[in-house]
Structures are given as C-alpha cells and as structure tokens.
Structure 1
Amino acid sequence: MTPFFAAQLTASDWITAGATALVTLLLAIMIRRITKRRIRKKDKHAELTDFGGRLLISLVLSAGAYYTLEALHVELGPALGAFGIGALFIAVGLQPLLVNIVGSVVLQARRPFRRGDQILSNSFEGTVLDITSTSTVLLSYDGESIHIPNAQVLSQPLVNWTHEPVRRTILPITVPYGCELAMVLAMVGRATRNALNDENLPPAEALATGFGAHGIEISLRFWHYSDRLESQVALSQVVVAVNDALNEAGVVIPYNQLVVHPAEIADPAEPLEPD
C-alpha cells in the first residue's frame, strides 16, 4: 500500500505547514470581516456580497488545506482517491443539503427578496434576517426565529409584502336593505379618506358588490404603506372611522339571526296510547 507521507517529516516541514494553516485562517477571517463591513453599509448588493465572501472563504480554505498537506509531503493521489470514493457516498446522503445550497445560489442570483423585506413563504410570515447556504431565516411578528429550507422557498409560492412601497387592503362591509346605498357608499369612502389623510396614497373607494343573505355587501378598498405594522394601524383606523360614521348616520350593520322554534313535547304524566 502506498503511504500518504512520501518522506520523513522534519521540524521545518511542520513549521511551514503550521504557518500555511495560520495564514489561511487569518486570511479567511479578514475576508469575513470585510464582507460584514460592506453589508453593514447597506450595500444594495448585500446578499451577493455575502455569498461571494463565503465562496471566497471556501476557496481560500481549500487552497490552504492543499498547500498545508503539500508542506507535510502528503501523497495527494491516494488521498484524493479515497476522498473521491467517500465523497460519492457523502453526496448521496447529503442530497437534500446540496439541494438547499443550490437553492441559496438561485435566491442570491434571482433576489426575489432582500434582507429586511417582509414575506410569506410556506405559511410562515416575517421579516427576512438572512439567506444562509441552507435556509432562509425569518423573524416572525411575534419575535420567533424561523428557518425555512431554501429548496422549499423556491418550490412554493412566495409573497413579498414590501416589494412595493404601498399595497391595498379590501375590507368587506354589510349594510341593511332599505338604506340609502349611494349615501352610505359616499360616507364610508369619505370616512376612510379622512382617517388615512395621506396625499401620497391612492384614494379609497367603496363599491357595492352584491346582495347578501342579510344585507347589501360593500367592498371598501383602501391603500396603505406596505410595512406590516403600518398596514395593521391603517386597518384599525379605517374600522374605527367607518364604525363611527355608520353609527352617526343610524346605519346598523346586520348580523346573523338564529330563530329557535320549540318542539312540542308530550306530557310524561299522560299515558301512552297502545299501538
């Protein structure tokens, strides 16, 4: 069997190998720090910078390992042969992991979202913290850290709530039959516009959409800023304003009514008639 070490090692060989390994580690640390510094500056290509930095670190570590082994006079032929056979079995076992790594590359290239975006993916919703080599990390609105495999992020529909600065919400409202519908529509739309009171947003509109089981159905459409908190605050303001306007006009929102008819129950004291 051919030995991995081709010659007797000397102190100089060990010193050279150690120095090579140390320089490699220091260079990798320096690259990582430079990458983080660029990301902190809010570079618009932060995701690609991070991915490129990690790829460069991997190449540096691989080159450092090669030259370290060469300094130790390791026969790389037998070592690479054994490594190749082992890598084949490892690749089969780590196929899901490799798929996620490829998914990370695709996400970095396509960039359907960035750090800080608020997204909905695989029924999970939150703010994007990071895109690692294997998963996309979200911070939920309840403060929970969520890790979604990159392969699942790519294979399932994705909603980016903050891709555009504003988005629209539709609030369904039901008003009773017999009300002055034109007046109610104008009043609801006016109350919504006054509640939001922002010239940068498209105007709100109220449209009658159909006849429901308990009243006329209205679709109140209003725009707000895309941030989750902004959307919730806007919805609350609109609900309060519309409720106050309807109460002031004497319009009562109909609700489901359950009518119970008591069944006739025979008196147990009365004898049963024979068949």
Structure 2
Amino acid sequence: MTATALLLASTGDADISEAFGKGLTTRDWVVAGIILAASIAIGQVAKVVLQRVLRSDDTDVAITHFAASALRNLIVLAGLVYALGVLEVRLGPLLGAIGIGGLAIAFAAQSILASFFASIILRTRRPFRRGDQVVLGDVEGTVEEVNFRTVSVRTFDGERALVPCDVVLGDTIVNLTARGRRRTTFEVQVSYETDLGRAIGVLEDAMAGVEGVLDRPEPRAYVQEMADSGITLALLVWHAPEMMTMWQVRSDVGVAAHVALVDAGIEIPFPQRVVRFRADEEARTEVPDVGDGTVRSLRRRGPDPNRDTRDTDDDGDDGGDDGGDGGD
C-alpha cells in the first residue's frame, strides 16, 4: 500500500464523516435530487443552444463543441454544489479528504493535462485550420483534426501522424497555406563566357510562360555565386502553396529554363577542372615504390639549354653514342 493510500485510510474516514450533516430527512434527499436533475437538464439545453449559435457564426466545430460542453459542465457543477448545500455537506472537510488523492492523480496525468491545455491554446489562437498544409517539427502534411490530445496530420507520403498538442505548441509551426501563395527557388548554372544580362532576360521570359507561375510577384533571376564550373543563377517564382503544385511548377520551370538556354545558345557547363603545366618549372610527382614501400620522386625537366645536341659522330649515328653514355 502506498503512502497516499495509508494517509487516506488514516484520515479520510474522519474527514468525510465530518463533512456530511446530521439528521437529514427524506425531503432533503428529494430536493437535492431534483436540483441536481434540473441542473443537468438546463446544462444540456444550454449546450444545444450555444452550439447552434456558434455554428451559425461559422466557428470551428471543435471549438464549438468544447465551449458548449464547458458551459454544460459549469451549470451541472453549480447545481451539484447547491444540492450538496441542501444536504448540509461542508465542502471544506470533503475537499481536504480527497485533496491528496486528487494531487496524486494530477501528477500521474501531467502529460495528459499538458496536452489538454495546449489543445485549448491551439483552438483559441488557431495557427492552422483543418485542411491546412503545415510543418510541425519533423512532420509535414495536411491537418485532419485537432482533438484534446493530439493533432492528426496526413503526411505527404499518405501516412497518418499523431503529434501531441504540447509538442506542437512547444515547437516551430510553419503553415504553408496560410498566405495563399508560396515561393520556390530553382538553381541553374551558365558558363563564365556567358553574357549574364542576356541570360537573365532569357530565363525570366521562360519562367513567365510557365503554367502555375504567378504574375505578381513576377518571376526573377539573380546571380547567386561564382561556382567552380560556372556562374550559378537563382530562379525565384511564386505559385499556389500546395505541395504538389510546388513540385509541378518547379519541374516545369526547370524544363523551360533548359529549353530556353539551349535555344539561345547559352552553355550549361559540366563539372570541370582546369590543369595548367608550366614548362619553365620542374614538375614533381611522388608515387609509391611497389618494391620496398618507399616513395620516389619522379622529375620531369624541360630541355637543358647548356647541353650540346649537335651530332659529333662522323657517321652521323648519334644514337650509338647516346646508348654508350647511357651504359656508362
């Protein structure tokens, strides 16, 4: 038996016995029952009326249900307190008796309570609505439902992800569809010999003709960096915010840019390296010796200006002398 249970067993019975009044009659119990039943009926009617009023105001269904249920519960709680007063129940000793148990339950349900209050904040502030495409931490997809425990998201891969409300509230929320449009950047390279002004004009005209690209803001091309193999241009276009629209527009912009550059005779460079050898300097290359494992240096020299290369042999056979020298 836990410490909480022992404490309740030792103090709970005495406190509860002191909470209830003495000498209650049948009339008192009947009046208390009528008050409680009336409060339940009034609370249910109030819930239905509030739901109809909020729905006519185009309020979110989840918020409507939560507000109506809260109003009903408050009315029932008020009726319960009044009924206990008729029964001469002293709430102080009663709450003291059950307070320790309620505290233990609160600690056990801490994560549930955190998600519950986080869901209330999400429903109140409404950073996203049902049907919005969002990024919640590592989860990307379309919001299907926000309940009192989790946010249900259908990912772009067709899977269903349930993200706790407190995790959603404590992390970055990116709503992709809230503004009604979205920008995409596509990169393309041209060679260093390219007339950049002409290339930018060709690319902007090509992007303007792509279906799905918005006219305002207009598509633009900018020089982004001087890369190893060419000059990188960033193509910026605006389009509808849905994920599939983004991929379709991105693909069409890439196709249109390639066709426009080829038709204009503008080179799209391959990855390349330029290696230059200078004849007046010694080129040194170190390679491992397969035999003993040491590293030998191979030297390549240019022609020696002090060497006499004239044929000094009477028979003109310079190769023989060279061969002899090589043997020596």
User: TM range, normalised to the smaller chain?
Assistant: 0.7 to 0.9
2:234 aligned with 1:229 = no
Structure 1 residue 216 corresponds to structure 2 residue 231: yes
Cα distance change, pair 170–33 in 1 and its aligned pair in 2 (3 A): farther
After TM superposition, list the pairs within 5 Å mapping 1:1-275 onto structure 2.
1=14, 2=17, 24=40, 31=47, 35=51, 43-59=58-74, 62=77, 77=91, 80-196=95-211, 201-257=216-272, 266=290
Taking a change above 3 Å as real, the CA distance of residues 35 and 256 of structure 1, as seen in their structure-2 partners, is: farther
The residue identity in structure 2 corresponding to 1:106 is I
Rounded to whole Å, the distance in 1 between the matches of 2:255 and 2:74 is 59
- TM-superposed CA distance for 1:138, in Å, is 1.5
Residue correspondences, number:
264
Moved more, 219-228 or 242-251: 242-251
Distance 1:62 1:146, change over 3 A: farther
What RMSD in Å do the two structures reach over aligned CA positions? 4.1
Higher mean displacement: 227-236 or 57-66: 57-66
Q: Which has the higher contact order (CA 8 A, sep 6+)?
A: 1
- Which protein has the larger Cα radius of gyration, Structure 1 or Structure 2? 2
Partners of 1:124 and 1:221 lie apart in 2 by 26
CA contact (8 A) 1:209 1:217 kept: yes
Give unpaired runs (5+ residues) of structure 1. Answer: none
Provide the rounded CA distance (Å) in 1 between the counterparts of 2:218 and 2:273. 38
Distance 1:34 1:237, change over 3 A: farther
TM-score (norm 2): 0.63
**TM-score, normalised on structure 1?**
0.74
Cα pair 2:46 2:68 within 8 Å, conserved:
no
- On the 8 A contact 1:47/1:131 being kept in 2, the answer is yes
Is contact 1:166–1:225 with CA below 8 Å preserved after alignment? yes
Is contact 1:196-1:238 (8 Å) kept?
Answer: no
CA distance in 2, matches of 1:161, 1:176: 35
Paired residue type of 1:211: M
**Between 49-58 and 88-97, the greater mean CA deviation after superposition:** 49-58
Q: Give the unaligned 5+ runs of structure 2.
A: 1-13, 275-284, 295-328
